[in-house]
Amino acid sequence: MWIQPARADALAAALDLSDDIPVCEACLSFVSFALDDGDPSEIAGQTRRMTPILWAEGLAEPALAAVRRASDLGVRDAQAGLADLEQNGGRSWAARSIVRRLAAELSRRARTELELMALTRDRLRLAPPEQN
């Protein structure tokens, strides 16, 4: 059993995922950079390449738990997503969608931090060094 890609994306967006999922942000950044560039083939390639790695290195348990919770709550397509994850693991559509969601969140955080640094850089020189 598998879930259609568009439905897997909707499911991933609906999941209650913790902010402290133990995934390698450097690995996730390959997908994040591809998302930032916007090239669909690069996004698909990086997602396909990195998802099994992220799955094996810590994503599996929290992703499965989140999809099980969603299934218990009756979230649309959660049962199909769970079956996809259990059968195909890091090569499933559901796992790829979860990785793309996490990568998009990483990208948003990085952009926010860069914007904040740009806004405060001028003011940093006004603060006495002993207070930094």
Where does the chain show beta strands of DSSP type E? none
Helix (H/G/I), strand (E/B), else coil: 74: coil
pLDDT at position 121 over 80: no
Rounded to two decimals, what is the model's pTM? 0.85
Structure tokens of 91? 């090569």
pLDDT confidence band for 120 (50 / 70 / 90): confident
- Average pLDDT over every residue of 49-77: 96
